[in-house]
Structure 1
Amino acid sequence: MEQGQAPNGLSSCYRHPGVETGVRCTRCERPICPDCMVGASVGFQCPECVRNGSGTGHGPDAARPRNIAGGAIAGGDRQLVTKVLIGINLLVFLGGLFFSGLVDELVLIGLAFDPELFRVVGVADGEWYRLLTAVFLHQEVWHVGFNMIGLWVLGGPLEAALGRVRYLALYLLSGLAGSALTYAIVAPNQPSLGASGAVFGLMGATFVLFRRLRYDLRPVLGLIVLNVLITVVFREVIAWEAHLGGLVAGAVIAYGMVSGPRGKRPLLQWGACALVLAATVVMVVMRTTALV
Structure 2
Amino acid sequence: MSVFMTCFFIVFSYVSPNEKGITLIWVGFALTFYLLSDYKLVTSHIDRLAERGSFIILIYQYGKKEFVFWMICMSIFGLVQYMLQVVFGSFDAMMYKLGVVYSNVNNGEWWRLFTGTFFHSSFGHWIVNATTILIIGPIVCIISRVRGIGVFLLGNVAGATAALITANLSGMGDSYVGVSAGIYAMMGWFLCYSKINKTDVPSKLFYTLLNLIVLSILLTYLMMPKSSNSAHIAGIVTGLLSYFILPTSGKYVLSQK
- Give the TM bin, normalised by the shorter chain: 0.5 to 0.7
Q: Is the 8 A contact 1:96 1:103 kept in 2?
A: no
Shift of 1:237: 0.8
Matched AA of 1:107: G
Match of 2:113 in 1: 131
Match of 2:188 in 1: 204
Shift of 1:254: 2.2
Match of 1:245 in 2: 234
- TM-score, normalised via structure 2 length: 0.62
Deviation by residue 1:247-268 (Cα, 9 ceiling, x = unmatched)? 1001111244447x859xxxxx
Answering whether residue 157 of structure 2 is matched by residue 168 of structure 1, we say no
Answering whether residue 140 of structure 2 is matched by residue 140 of structure 1, we say no
Match of 1:190 in 2: 174
Q: Could you say if the C-alpha distance between residues 39 and 94 of structure 1 is closer, same or farther in structure 2, counting changes exceeding 3 Å?
A: closer
Answering whether residue 159 of structure 2 is matched by residue 159 of structure 1, we say no
Q: Is the 8 A contact 1:79 1:160 kept in 2?
A: no
Q: For the residues of structure 2 that align with 1:80 and 1:227, how far apart are their CA atoms?
A: 25
Deviation by residue 1:132-184 (Cα, 9 ceiling, x = unmatched)? 1221011212211111111110001111112x222211110111111111112
Match of 2:75 in 1: 87
Sequence identity of aligned pairs in percent? 22
Answering whether residue 160 of structure 2 is matched by residue 179 of structure 1, we say yes
Shift of 1:196: 1.2
Equivalent residue for 1:106, pick from 98, 102, 119: 98
Answering whether residue 213 of structure 2 is matched by residue 232 of structure 1, we say no
Q: Is the 8 A contact 1:171 1:202 kept in 2?
A: yes
More off after superposition, 141-150 vs 213-222? 213-222
Q: Could you say if the C-alpha distance between residues 171 and 38 of structure 1 is closer, same or farther in structure 2, counting changes exceeding 3 Å?
A: closer
Unaligned 5+ segments in structure 1 are: 1-33, 43-72, 112-121, 264-292
Shift of 1:203: 1.4
Aligned residues: 189
Q: For the residues of structure 2 that align with 1:182 and 1:38, how far apart are their CA atoms?
A: 35
Greater relative contact order (CA < 8 Å, ≥ 6 in sequence): 2
Helix, strand or coil: the match of 1:186?
Answer: helix
Structure of higher CA gyration radius: 1
Q: Is the 8 A contact 2:105 2:112 kept in 1?
A: yes
Q: Is the 8 A contact 2:71 2:130 kept in 1?
A: no
Superposition pairs for residues 250-289 of structure 1, below 5 Å?
A: 250-258=239-247
Q: For the residues of structure 1 that align with 2:236 and 2:181, how far apart are their CA atoms?
A: 7
Match of 1:220 in 2: 209
Q: Could you say if the C-alpha distance between residues 256 and 129 of structure 1 is closer, same or farther in structure 2, counting changes exceeding 3 Å?
A: closer
Q: For the residues of structure 1 that align with 2:229 and 2:214, how far apart are their CA atoms?
A: 13
Superposition pairs for residues 26-41 of structure 1, below 5 Å?
A: 41=58
